[in-house]
Amino acid sequence: MSQFLALTVAGIATYGCVYALTAMGLVVTYTTSGIFNFAQGAIGMIGAFLYWELSQVHGWPSWAAFTVVVLFVMPLLGAGLERILLRRLEHAGLEAQLTVTIALLLLGIAVATAIWNPSTARTVPPFFAGHQVSIGGVVLTWHQLIIVGASAAAAVVLRLFFYRTRPGIATRAVVDDRELTALTGAAPARYAELGWAMGCSLSAVAGILIASQINLDINNLTLLVVNGYAAAMVGRLRSLPLTFVGAIVLGLLQSYGVGYLPISVLWSDLEQVIPMLFLLVVILVLPQSRASLARRVRVRAPRVVGRRESLVRGTAFIGIAVVLAFTLNAASFSYANRGIALAIIMLSLTLLTGYGGQVSLCQLSFAGLGAFAMSKVGGTGGSLLGILAAVGLSAAVGAVVALPALRLRGLYLALATLAFAQGMDAAFFNNIDVFGVSLSLSVARPHLPLVSVTSDRRYFAFLCIVFTAIAIGLLALRRSRFGRRMLAITDSPSACLTLGVDMTRSKLAIFTLSAAIAGLGGALYGGAQSAVSPNDFPFILSLTLLLLAVAWGIRTTTGMLVGGVVFSLGSLLDAHLTHPRDAFALLVGVAAIGVSQNPEGPFGGRTVMRMWRDRAGRAGSPPSTSAEVPPGERLTSAAG
């Protein structure tokens, strides 16, 4: 009984109430802006490190450091982010909105790494250290009581603010209808700033309070707050009471699971697995709210390249690749081969997200499955059966993941794939029964019947040919009847249902084909490196992959080529530039600014010159009175 009480206290004070604070911050930011803040964990981590810097390095009193960070620094940070970056994304697609907050997540980790050396051990003393009380035989520290009190007070105050005050009601109304809220005399932009200021402040409170319970580590603090996503989804990003209850239930499940469940090799990291399983169950079991369907936007897709033009461009690219194969030095092929293989993986995002409108955060997990299958079936000789196994295994797992997620879309689908990716990290890629004791697998290059591609030069040319073939195939698919159906489903699912379009089969086909492309790219990526490890496929890199895809133009194959090469060159930059630390992540995070300015990317049909012309036209021309084609007529032709 004493163990049960101890685990209950730990589940509520150590896990649940901290999850409640960060989840309520997520609810506040989403309620006021309609944007899900993936950077919530990084913001809480930055707040904890700032508190440590002021209190432990500069000798400030704990109360003064806490007050400055929570009530001044973090609210200003949140308001500034909303004004500079997030306000520009009001009419952008979901992938662009998520990408900016993902970039902020990566930027926060990179900034913290540059300022505070991760190899240095740091501790944060708890509030009122040495003071404790005993309740029912269970010892509670004053710090734990402060955590419980802070989360309960935050829940009550926020509930009263949003439902009993005029500013709170106006803040909730902003996300539903910005224009209608403005007609009441309110200032939507100001209320959105207020929401982000409150959300960042709550995240900082969570980071500071939990920092004394665990080591002050950049990644641990960030990922711990990420676990709060599940609690926010219990309240469907709307209800603060349900969010608080969901956080407590999640904390208890995590504490009981670690305390009672047998820890095997497969489930050695229960603290990460349980929150992600809880998130997946919550998303799949509870009905979707209208929040997932709100504010659908239509983006201007780039011009579809014709068959002849795509063949000409593909041939020209292969010609350039052959020339590069004979001009690049031996050291350059390591980065070039990995870059083209990553570009092949990113083409799966062009199909799934760019054309199909389904945001996935687990593409590198499918790529890892492809590399695993190539290693096990292809063997040391690189049998082509390994390539077939890579494509087949990834496609099969992709179909299994897609089946329960078929009724999901938008943010719900993105979070479901995130849960799958993080679960794969803990249960598959870091499992010694899968990757061996060394957590590494050898992957051979494919053995072709007519020509050998074992040399780096020939393998580079081979990868370019594969990339070109897939890119031409995707463009042909985009021009086909099925491609028009994909765009119609993305544009208006309700209209497609009215027209009799089989959305379930179409979505399943898109997701399965996308996973197959990612698996093929993963097998070729393993061949480029000769070996793979769990460090090649963590879920955080799947987020980076999506960020680069959107930043360079996720609806274009050229953007994927550039994005893959840039991704590969990141390790080269970090190897030659030691200050600041993690320089590539800093540059990737800054990409958020580019996405907020131009969500379609430089290859997505809206170049810098066109942006300036559009602004000049809006400034000097009267509003256009030309009628838009009715959605019903457009979808009737698009559905084929």
570-616: pLDDT as tens digits: 777 766 666 666 667 777 777 666 776 776 767 765 544 444 444 44
In a domain, 607, yes or no: no
Query: 344 in a domain, yes or no?
Result: yes
Residue 518: what pLDDT? 95
- Mean pLDDT, residues 461-469 taken together: 94
Confidence of residue 269 (pLDDT cuts 50, 70, 90): low
Q: Cα–Cα distance between 487 and 292 in angstroms, integer?
A: 19
Instruction: Tell me the one-letter amino acid at 102.
Output: I
What is the CA 200 to chain-centroid distance, rounded? 19
Of 223, 239, 273, at which residue does a domain stop? 223
Q: Which residue has the higher pLDDT, 386 or 628?
A: 386
Q: Which of 13-17, 445-449, 582-586 has the lowest mean pLDDT?
A: 582-586
What pLDDT, on the 0 to 100 scale, is given for residue 602? 74
CB 191 within 8 A of CB 34: no
Task: Establish if 112 belongs to a structural domain.
Answer: yes
Whether residues 495 and 358 share a domain: the answer is yes
Higher pLDDT, 599 or 200: 200
Instruction: Identify whether residues 355 and 504 lie together within a single domain.
Output: yes
537 within 8 A of 368, measured Cβ to Cβ:
yes
Q: Positive or negative CA dihedral for 507, 513, 517, 519?
A: positive
Q: Which of 57-61, 82-86, 392-396 has the lowest mean pLDDT?
A: 82-86
Q: Which token pair is 220?
A: 């641990």
Is residue 2 situated within a structural domain? Answer: no
- 32 lies in the same domain as 165: yes
pLDDT category of residue 1 using cuts at 50, 70 and 90: low
Tokens of residue 372, six digits: 């695993």
Give per-residue pLDDT as tens, 535-564: 889 888 888 888 888 888 888 899 899 989
pLDDT at 295 over 50: no
The residue among 605 and 152 whose pLDDT is bigger is 152
37 and 162 housed in the same domain: yes
Least confident of 46-60, 139-153, 541-555, 621-635: 621-635
Buried b (16+ CB within 10 A) or exposed e, 593-622: bbbbebbbbbbbbbeeeeeeeeeeeeeeee
Q: In the prediction, which pLDDT does 470 show?
A: 95
Q: Is residue 347 part of a domain?
A: yes
| CA-CA-CA-CA torsion sign (14, 18, 23, 24) | positive
pLDDT of residue 52: 92
| Whether residue 219 sits in one domain with residue 313 | no
* Domain count within the chain: 2
Q: Is 636 contained in some domain?
A: no
Residues 6+ apart with CB under 8 A from 342: 521, 525, 545, 563, 564, 565, 567, 568
* CA pair distance 464, 480, nearest whole angstrom: 24
Residue at a domain's end among 522, 538, 554: 538
Q: Note whether residue 239 is domain-resident.
A: no
Containing structural domain, residue 210? 20-223
In this structure, which amino acid lies at residue 463? L
| Nearest-5° Cα angle at 242, 134 to 360 | 115
Average pLDDT, the chain: 80
- Supply the pLDDT for residue 577: 64
Q: What is the DSSP string of 170-191?
A: HHHHHHH-HHHHHHTT--HHHH
Residues 271-292 pLDDT 10s: 667 887 888 888 877 765 544 4
Domain end, chosen from 497, 517, 538, is at: 538
Mean pLDDT comparison of 24-28, 215-219, 419-423, 462-466, highest-scoring range: 462-466
pLDDT exceeds 80 at position 625? no
Is 552 a domain residue?
no
